[in-house]
Amino acid sequence: MSQEIVVRAQEPQDMSDITELLNQPRVVWGTLQTPFTSVAARVKRSEAAPPGWTPIVAVVAGKVIGQAGLNRLDGRRGHVGVVGMSVHDDFAGRGVGTALLAALTELADRWLGLRRIELTVWTDNAPAIALYERFGFEREGLHRAFAFRDGEYVDALAMARLRT
Ligand SMILES: CC(C)(COP(=O)(O)OP(=O)(O)OC[C@H]1O[C@@H](n2cnc3c(N)ncnc32)[C@H](O)[C@@H]1OP(=O)(O)O)[C@@H](O)C(=O)NCCC(=O)NCCS
């Protein structure tokens, strides 16, 4: 991408841009988002986020066009972080997901000292699986009929990246 991608912490004023990006058809397809979710609903959800949640955004030309987060679990799973990410449909395939995942893996490895990062991804989401494998995530198993998507149930891959 010719324009610079800035990755930073998510701030309250980002919610309008984040709502637009999370309502994109391809983002809804690839995640557990539901179409037509309002800014108010997003704000409420964001305020109810778990204490281990670190949300970050990617900004291009002053607009938030990517969002991702790492949720550090607690207790005997305190060594684990769960990752999720989305890029605005108009900006997919231009390195934004790579920038977001680089930031989250650095946070996990170098600042939180996490041993394991895990995620789930639909088995037919080839670009996402390719991105995760590039960062060392491996396929661990299959969740059958994991979620309902566009009129049918979809399977999900369990993937994780372990630091030794
Ligand atoms: C998945 C997603 C986060 C990736 O972000 P992105 O900004 O498009 O990612 P990047 O451009 O950094 O990299 C995408 C990689 O997928 C590759 N790719 C694109 N289409 C592909 C395809 N059909 N099959 C395999 N790989 C593909 C690209 O070539 C690129 O790899 P490369 O850098 O080695 O060339 C983004 O597309 C997205 O938000 N999709 C919708 C929501 C979603 O699916 N989120 C993930 C939920 S688990």
Domains annotated for the chain, with CATH where assigned, are: 6-119 (3.40.630.30)
Q: What is the pLDDT of residue 90?
A: 98
Has residue 73 got a pLDDT over 80?
A: yes
Residue identifier of the C-alpha nearest atom 36 of ligand 1:
87
Ligand 1 centroid distance, CA of 71 (Å): 21
Beta carbons of 125 and 30 less than 8 angstroms apart: yes
Where does ligand 1 bind, in terms of residues with CB under 6 Å?
26-27, 30-31, 85-87, 92-98, 121, 125-128, 130-131, 134
CA of 84 to the centre of ligand 1 (A): 13
* Mutational pocket test of ligand 1: of 29, 60, 87, 120, the residue with most ligand atoms within 8 Å of the beta carbon: 87
Residue 1: pLDDT band with limits 50, 70, 90: low
Give the residue, by CA position, lying nearest to ligand 1 atom 30: 93
Q: Could you read off the pLDDT of 115-142 as tens digits, one per residue?
A: 999 999 999 999 999 999 999 999 999 9
**Mean pLDDT of all residues in the chain?**
97
Distance separating alpha carbons of residues 27 and 29, to the nearest angstrom: 5
pTM for the model stands at 0.96
pLDDT single digits (tens) 94-121: 999 999 999 999 999 999 999 999 999 9
Name the one residue in this structure whose structure tokens are 């207790």.
75
73-79 contacts: CB < 8 A, separation 24 or more?
79/114, 79/115, 79/116
Average pLDDT over every residue of 46-50: 94
Beta-sheet strand order (sheet of 152-162): 6-9, 53-60, 63-72, 80-87, 116-122, 152-162, 138-149
